[in-house]
Amino acid sequence: MAGNRVVVYKGPGEVSVESFDYPKLELPDDVVTGLGLKRAAPHAVILKLVTTNICGSDQHMVRGRTTAPVGQTLGHEITGEVVEAGDDVLFVKEGDICSVPFNIACGRCRMCNEGKTGICLNVNPARAGAAYGYVDMGGWVGGQAEYVMVPFADFNLLKFPDREQALEKILDLTMLSDIFPTGYHGAYTAGVRTGSTVYVAGAGPVGLAAAYSAQLLGASAVIVGDMNAERLKQAKSFGCETVDLSSGNDLVDMIEQILGEPEVDAAVDAVGFEARGHGAEAEEAPATVLNDIMTIARAGASLGIPGLYVTGDPGGIDEHAQQGQIGVKLGLGWAKSHSFVTGQCPVKRYNRQLMNMILSDRAQIAKAVNATTISLDEAPASYQAFDKGAAKKYVIDPHGMVG
């Protein structure tokens, strides 16, 4: 039987590509022992990876800013070809190319039946919700690999209707596993509608996806804030206004200069817990973005928060931040009657519709996030480039299938 090569966290700032056993149609130890489920998984498939992407959430682990242990496998943005299917898999077959939501979901529990697939109750004994290759998410092997096992395949997989069309549009379709639905979720839950004015904090891949999604939803103006000139340039490339937070200028004033008023209808936090204050030499201040978006969002607005916040951060700036407690001005949000939407995006709520937008040439998300193809062996160097602020979304092509 063939082996498998997987990207692995080796300690702060370091990843490597290591050899593992070829995956089996079996559930991981954490799930079997913690939830009392059967090990055999006839409901699962083995995928040959077509594409798998590096995510900013992975970068938090690689920086040493989570409790991820050395040896943690990485990768939750998965698109692959079915090469083996269990006996209970009915609706996908060998040769099908499918997108895999980063949320692992059973399709059977109360949360799944309510469409809340990001907090499935049957895939992680530590807490509700699971993901491939992520700390405290159930022990599932990561998908920055050559092959990966996907459980509950009939429920989780989004099969592309035509193989050749899928390969032709693969750089767009690979974004369906996470950042396109996540960015869309951030914009949608922030209340972006036709004619809205929108502020997106963060011009990384998720922030760019949120800004692009806001345009799809009909926003009249989308403003993206960041400190990285290259990433701000990428946001401008598809029609966003930008504010340079390294300038030290007041965010409210910069918003007013663009819109003629100092507030927006909707705001998105696509930064998360490693946020910094304003100014070129600003230090980490994890509540900055949440306080910013409450400040500039009009009364009654919704705030979409796809940016990651954690319960354990060994590198936090103080003992409170190390436990996920940060100085959010909740009274400000309360006074303005803001609504907050946080947590994992339930990818299945959006991925089929966004796939249709891609296949009908109505969405070019790969161009918006500057999708850049690399080999599996280039993953370690690409993690380093991403950490330095490269305005790229790295797409790993393990088998040379990307045209």
Contacts of 124 (CB under 8 A, 6+ apart): 30, 31, 34, 104, 130, 136, 137, 138
Closest CA to 52 of 389, 374, 358: 374
Measured in whole angstroms, the distance separating CA 93 from the mean position of its chain's CA atoms is 27
Specify the length of the chain in residues: 403
Q: What is the DSSP letter of 260?
A: S
Residue 233 CA from chain centroid, whole number = 21
Domain coordinates of the chain in residue numbers?
A: 4-178+347-396, 179-341
Superfamily of domain 179-341: NAD(P)-binding Rossmann-like Domain (3.40.50.720)
**pTM of the predicted model as reported, rounded to 2 decimal places:** 0.97
Residue (of 269, 253, 266, 248) closest to 201 by Cα position: 269
| Rg for the chain, CA atoms, rounded | 20
pLDDT of the chain, 403 residues: tens digit per residue: 579 999 999 999 999 999 999 999 999 999 999 999 999 999 999 999 999 999 999 999 999 999 999 999 999 999 999 999 999 999 999 999 999 999 999 999 999 999 999 999 999 999 999 999 999 999 999 999 999 999 999 999 999 999 999 999 999 999 999 999 999 999 999 999 999 999 999 999 999 999 999 999 999 999 999 999 999 999 999 999 999 999 999 999 999 999 999 999 999 999 999 999 999 999 999 999 999 999 999 999 999 999 999 999 999 999 999 999 999 999 999 999 999 999 999 999 999 999 999 999 999 999 999 999 999 999 999 999 999 999 999 999 999 999 8
Closest CA to 215 of 230, 236, 193, 244: 193
What is the CATH superfamily name and number for domain 4-178+347-396?
Medium-chain alcohol dehydrogenases, catalytic domain (3.90.180.10)
List Cα–Cα distances, 60 to 262, 299, 314, 379, 383, in angstroms.
Answer: 32, 32, 11, 15, 11
Buried b / exposed e across 234-250, counting CB within 10 Å, b at 16+? bbeebebbbbbbbeeee
Distance separating alpha carbons of residues 97 and 402, to the nearest angstrom: 13
